[in-house]
Structure 1
Amino acid sequence: MRRFVSWNVNGLRAVEKKGFVEIIAGLNADLVALQEIKALPEQLPESVKNIPGYTAYWFSAQKKGYAGVATYSKEQPLSVIYGIDHKDHDYEGRVLTLEFGDFFFVNAYFPNSQHGLLRMNYKLQFNRDLLAFANTLAAKKSVVICGDFNVAHKEIDLTNPKQNEKNPGYAPEERAWMDQFLGAGFVDTFRMFNQEPGQYTWWSYRFNARARNIGWRIDYFCVDQKSKNRVAEAAILNDIMGSDHCPILLGFR
């Protein structure tokens, strides 16, 4: 069984100072997907760029200190796809895909719709284009999509749903797209195993939110429908600190 981890690190240079390399070594994952790295590879220390046993692939945003994704892999991929071949999105460094013999591994950092929902139209366009890209891949072989989707799908996925109904990450348009995404044949793997409330992956730095578990589940591992039987486990690793998000885990046969 392969072991996959996804983690929005909210700044790779910041989390490096909080034991990042040791955390990754301890997780012993076959693939590690990072979002919001906020760095170019040349800005990172060698210890982060060359973690023993892994090859790192980088897709940074053109804007410095913003967005960006990276994937560490123990296995050599057949190919690496940078972006989704879309000029409106790819300069923000949001999607990095590694192809292996029997699956694609898509590391995605979805846009935040922002305060006042100012980027909602852009986010929804990104979501549509990402789904079209994923469907193209799924026609060929299994697809694993992971990352920070920047949306809590259902009331169970955040502490205060009523107060957040018009806020970024829980606006009706964002939740409706998540319905469409799952309706198109993708599976939220965590909910295959866990139907309990209070399971979150992101907590505000304010109001002591993490200690009080006032959070949101906005990070996901999803697979295409035909690959559902390949999912062995899915979990939230909420004991791992270093970011305002915690890592999530997928076991994939």
Structure 2
Amino acid sequence: MEDERIPYSRAPMLDLTKIRAISLDLDDTLWPIWPTIARAEQVLLDWLKLRAPATAGLFGSPEALREIRNRMHTLRPDLHADLSALRRESIRLALQQANEDGTLAEEAFEVFFAERQRVDLFDDVLPALDLLAARYPLVALTNGNADIARVGLGAYFTASITAREFGVAKPDARIFEAAARAADVAPEQVLHVGDDALLDVLGALGAGMQAVWVNRTDQLWQQEMQPHAEVASLAELGAMFAHEAP
């Protein structure tokens, strides 16, 4: 099959001289998200087997728990920017459907949430963060509910902007603008780095930022607007800045 990759000779060029801050996506940019979620869902299920056995029987697999969480996304569109609330309310719904105590949802969610913070970083992440944080303020920018302090990366970041706390999610330009304000720079002085073509790259471009697409799985770019650069790892990103004075 012929490679239909859009030639990057037509893409904008990354201008390092304009960068005064870097915003970074978290899930699937700094660590793989689905192994983390699967492990957290299994820990939640094990807890339910002890504390809410009827619920564990009715929703007897991590996949079933994920399905009811997806159903809650449809039932409560007002919570689309708050993944913690969506997960908590999906647990509550599962408990209620099994005729068990819905107030257990708070404790059950904390069990899930604690495990969700146990992430396995990609090997290239810490060296890249060491290099980048020495040169620019870094802002975490995520639609997810990872806590950079609990994950163990808080020391690298000047600020963390989450969709849950801010109230709108990527690709809305307002959350990117909030990241720029957190770094005390203009949006056009920010480089955003992320793995999602729509949420990260197009969102950042729409806010007037430069954007780097982290393409760890060799996907084809299929959007008309293009990133300023594409990297297969954060090691490649770090190499772009290796000769820049800190």
Q: Normalising by structure 2, what TM-score?
A: 0.30
The higher radius of gyration belongs to 2
Q: Which has the higher strand share?
A: 1
Name the structure, 1 or 2, with higher relative contact order (CA <8 Å, separation 6+).
2
Q: Which has the higher helix share?
A: 2
